[in-house]
Amino acid sequence: MDKDISLHYLDEDSWAVALDIVRSCAKIPPKLPHIMRACWHGSVHPAQFMHFLAAPGLPVECLLRAAGISQQPGEPPGGQILEAVDILGVKASAVMLAINSLCERTLDSGPANRIWSPLFKEMMSEIEVGYHLGSSIERVGHEQGMLVGFSRLAGLAVLLIRFPDPFARWFTETGGKGAPHLALSAFGCEPYQVSSVLMQHLGLGAEVALATASTLGGIDREILEVKSSLKDWAATFKWIHALKNGDEAPACEESRAAFPELCPSEGTAIVPQHLIFLREQVRELQGKSSDWTWHLPLPSYEETAQAIVYRVNSNACGTTWTKGLVQPTARLTANTR
């Protein structure tokens, strides 16, 4: 993490536990925090971003999948990756690399399909709603919308890596929400604390970490009232969950007031075109999971689940998801769990 970052609430034991969990379990490519920091807080041109992507360990193939580009056998991927970055944008590409890196790390731990699959599907639904929402709010943007959508369940993914069996019991009992006393008992900290520390670990800085903690954990409310960026983060989160649940707007008046462009004027039947489009995009996600699979190493959840079983059964340490795996069907037993 950045040496100049100091969270004033790290004196609590639970925050120290969260910090230890992230440091030990959220193993990400060494250069990723630098890339995230540069893209999030500065202006990075595609050519410079391509230079960053030369660093080892980055799951750049996810950008091809996200952009809908098929990699041609035997063809150097550089030109296709640049095309993908042009389509997605530099900042969104960086966010996707971060999401994919954590997903790969989670899958590398060999989690049970009954746990990781619904967790990932819910996470990607929130990321996709955040993408569409952010696209409708100029000062938020689709990149931050995706990141806000990622923030809640990212901490759960890290906890799954560290505590596979206790997490499975907790997730089955709680659905991954609420019951802070159960989380503290099982993990020594709450999921929002892990999410907050993870945001720092990814290179996004203290403000994003504080926004995550404030929004998910309900702390430091007085800071939200003076920091417009933190208020926007909290409002974005509430809009994401309202839309995901089928509501036209959050119940919270403050969140509605934060983005008046999303609320039609009172006394008029005219709904802005961008709001119509947003509602149509989100409506397609209601009642089902996101169709996005660029965060997976293989084309589908089913194929990825089979590959995890193959890796666990064959003790395939050191293999990489990005090179793909051939899974003999005879080896794919009921261990899909």
| One domain, residues 290 and 307 | no
| One domain, residues 320 and 215 | no
Structural domains of the chain, count: 2
Within a domain: residue 178? yes
Within a domain: residue 201? yes
| One domain, residues 272 and 157 | yes
Within a domain: residue 52? yes
Could you tell me the residue range of the domain that residue 331 belongs to? Answer: 301-337
| One domain, residues 226 and 202 | yes
Within a domain: residue 4? no
| One domain, residues 306 and 195 | no
| One domain, residues 111 and 222 | yes
| One domain, residues 225 and 141 | yes
Within a domain: residue 106? yes
| One domain, residues 287 and 311 | no
| One domain, residues 157 and 202 | yes
Q: Please report, for the domain that includes residue 184, its CATH number.
A: 1.10.3210.10
Within a domain: residue 1? no
Within a domain: residue 6? no
| One domain, residues 213 and 305 | no
| One domain, residues 143 and 162 | yes
Within a domain: residue 8? no
| One domain, residues 27 and 72 | yes
Per-residue pLDDT of the chain (337 residues; tens, 9 = 90+): 333 333 444 447 899 999 999 999 998 999 999 999 999 887 888 889 999 999 888 999 999 999 999 876 666 667 899 999 999 999 999 999 999 999 999 999 999 999 999 999 999 999 999 999 999 999 999 999 999 999 999 999 999 999 999 999 999 999 988 788 899 999 999 999 999 999 999 999 988 998 999 899 876 556 555 567 788 999 999 999 999 998 888 998 989 999 988 887 666 666 777 888 888 888 888 778 899 999 999 999 999 999 998 877 776 554 454 444 444 333 333 344 4
pTM over 0.85: yes
82, 159, 313, 332, 334 from 337: Cα distances, Å: 39, 19, 13, 11, 6
